[in-house]
Amino acid sequence: MTAEEQIARLEEQLTHILEQLRLKDEQLQQAQEQLRVAQARIEELEKQKTPPAPFVKANVVKPKAEANNMWSIMAGAVTVAPGEKPRWT
């Protein structure tokens, strides 16, 4: 390969690489613009966001079985005669 042929091949490669670089630069600019738009939208939504309501505990009357505790529920399931071991029914 002569020097002129090699120079021509390298110039073609350079032209191709410069074109790819130009396309990538355009893609980067588009992505940056989309990012700016998205960030502006996020800021707009953040301004519209309302704070969460404070927690309010409801005054609920518990049924009697729950009010006593778990033992009262379990006591109905166990039969124990004096001097015997507990047995589940």
Q: Where are the domains of the chain?
A: 3-88
Pairing relation of β-strands 78-79 and 87-88? Answer: antiparallel
For 5-60, the pLDDT digits (tens) are 999 999 999 999 999 999 999 999 999 999 999 999 999 999 898 877 777 777 87
Backbone angles phi and psi of 87, in degrees to 5: -135, 135
> If DSSP codes are grouped into helix, strand and coil, which group holds residue 35?
helix
Angle at 38 between CA 35 and CA 39, to 5 degrees: 85
Sole residue written with tokens 């588009």: 30
Under the banding of pLDDT at 50, 70 and 90, the label for residue 75 is low
pLDDT average, residue stretch 65-76: 53
